Chains A and B, each alone.
Chain A
């Protein structure tokens, strides 16, 4: 008998800030009063130092809770907002996770369906793969001020570890339709999506195309619509999911919340975000039908297993949503997303050129926060060096790799620096000591309150600086308060 194919683990990440839609509306009402209908609830927004890659890293870390990272065989990152057009974005994620150089990695993009399509592909490839595949999706859409999308979108990432064996949700099958339905598009060089009329998209696309896929798919999969316990439709337009359920004969009670009130629609990642949320809430033996929409539709049918109840606790979608903080500073967010220019001052003129040679030599330290541990004395340090920092035992060439990213740390010194340039002043930073050894001076991330000496911190992979002149993003690790 073939081993079950399915989901071995899952995780998610939603940035901490929740921009109040009322704040977006308040600023734009003079120009676009019609947005009022969308001006309810809140949307997740990434901080200035986050992008689809950093969010994917967080989702991946959550997904890999309790899992030996050396068992991961491949990974993929789906997004339509990848920071690099030609540089393997999933390769950056791989370095941050300190996965083996032997993993395969690829990016998927080009459609709002990319996340769900990637997952379908991962399931179908699983039986031919020796090791689990880490399927990631992340989205941070750049939306034009005063557009519907600005209010509807939200930033988030999700991860699913797909493989065979003791799966928490078994893959029962998939169905896809592909049609060149141009509800919106974005060409190279365009800042924003060009979106067609909402009523047409809803009738011909969201409802028309998807209900056709549901009808054909359910038949092909041989599943009775009444057996579906959770229908996941990652489309925020009001009532679409309920209409689809009704047309397909799926019970109304199966229609899953789109998370529009607290998060917004996370583009190509949203299907996977909703799937993670569903898995967090589901009991063993439930049938979950996941829909992906974009130039056609994908359907994925899953059934949860007893193993779901045994999965180690994690942040997930629920934890991320619980940790949100209200933010009414629309202007700050516009500035962080490059939608409004602020006078940054001359201090911001420092050249951020990143030599590729040094990044290559130090990729483990920079991208993976890998320090050194002396094999003789056990002294841990960051970064590694030929001669140990231990003042009591001068050892040379004895250090082995020692990853620090998952080790808790405590604050030793701190300040809020208003003089140095930061996109989000004041810049908080200080010295931190890692549990079991290792010390560094780190920038502090995700601050909405003061950090004191002694505070517990966890490391997060973030944008350190952007080289605007050469279009390069520099990543490194920062310390964030444990909450």
Chain B
């Protein structure tokens, strides 16, 4: 296996726009909002950026093709700007581009920016779109909640969990994220909710109710990365470095190979997690990870992901969730910033937003929501696609000496 990039790249600065229904803003404005914070944090001049990557999920909806919208919005100095799209994992994908450029030595300083402007569609949820001419003839155009709800039915069957038990467990996931999001000034949804509200909400896709679904938001997030040496030379002292960055993509096995996958977990997440732990030198994630930001597009996704990241035993996450293991004051907090659920989910920005929160937490800059036990290693998990076919992106960042 490749040696990996552990500690080869440091985060020089990060920024994140307020997420939400930003009726007054175009994608360009959101990009600028995230960028201004990031470049101020990095304390460099725009002319020092060598290359840039932009992650967008629904380009046709908001910015159009190519990397040009980023180059133009930020008036970048005619550097290489590449747009990447990998479903909802586009944010981490853009981070990978920038990080790999620095790790390879091709760039000294690189920028990753994820953005999404969803609230011009005219309706809630994600835009309906084609998935290619062949798929459109034989596939099912379900909604995102419908696609992810499939996991719930299979999880119940695989682990013999009652409908009520699973519904309560996923409700706890959302109640917890709302409690966290309420403390986050940049979050889209900042209201605390109770179990009854979640359990009795209108059904969106059985068993997922309204509160089992994340917010669909406008927003942008940005990272500026460089080598640890350059970061120190620029005067940075507390360094957050990239410990691991892994992406695993489905190859159709889950969707097409009968009798293989049982539908109850995310196969690429398990693959990416193993690789990421290897790359980061993590042998016991439950003991070593300080906190996680996972792709809680739906409550059931977060619950199952706890198992796929080996933070819960298979079939046991629903109990660990109810036990409060992943609450802000629990064993391994998950979505301490409110997550996709409440911070919001501007598709292309989400992966970078997760890293942004982990970066703040590691540096002790997370304000009211700062984890009491000082964190040293934080994982973000950014998932694109659907349970049967997805892109799973995992980034582990930590203090340079962790």
Residues of chain A touching chain B, judged by Cβ–Cβ distance below 8 Å, are: 345-347, 349-351, 354-355, 358-359, 362, 365-366, 379-383, 385, 389-391, 412-421, 426-427, 429-431, 433-434, 437-443, 452-454, 464, 474, 476
Contact = CB atoms under 8 A, between A and B. Distances in A.
B67 interface: no
Interface stretch (B253-261, B273-281, B342-350): B253-261
Contacts of B316: none
12 contacts: A354-B136, A362-B137, A362-B138, A385-B252, A413-B387, A419-B143, A419-B144, A420-B142, A433-B259, A440-B255, A440-B256, A441-B388
Contact of B255 (A351, A421, A441): A441
A263 B227 CA distance: 76
Given A391-B253, A412-B263, A441-B139, 15 more contacts: A381-B257, A389-B253, A389-B257, A413-B153, A416-B203, A417-B142, A417-B205, A418-B202, A418-B204, A420-B142, A426-B205, A427-B146, A441-B140, A453-B156, A464-B137
Contacts, number: 138
What class of interface size applies to chain B in its complex with A?
A: 35 or more
B153 A453 contact: yes
B261 to A, nearest CB: 9
Nearest to A441: B140
A481 B271 CA distance: 35
A464 B141 CA distance: 10
A437 B206 CA distance: 28
B140 A443 contact: yes
B133 interface: yes
A414 B204 contact: no
Contacts of A442: 140
Contact of B252 (A351, A365, A389): A389
A358 B146 contact: no
Contacts of A454: 157
A431 B252 CA distance: 13
Given A413-B151, A419-B146, A380 B258 contact: yes
Contacts of A391: 253, 257, 260
A424 to B, nearest CB: 14
B258 A417 contact: no
Interface stretch (B71-79, B120-128, B283-291, B373-381): B120-128
Nearest to B121: A346
A259 B123 CA distance: 47
Contact of A474 (B137, B153, B208, B252): B137
Contacts of B99: none
A418 B203 contact: yes
B200 interface: no
Contacts of A453: 153-154, 156-157
Given A389-B253, A427-B146, A431-B263, A415 B205 contact: yes
A381 B121 CA distance: 36
A412 B154 contact: yes
A378 to B, nearest CB: 12
A415 B152 contact: yes
A449 to B, nearest CB: 13
B258 A476 contact: no
B388 A419 contact: no
The listed residue with most B CB atoms (<10 A of its CB), out of A362, A389, A415, is: A415
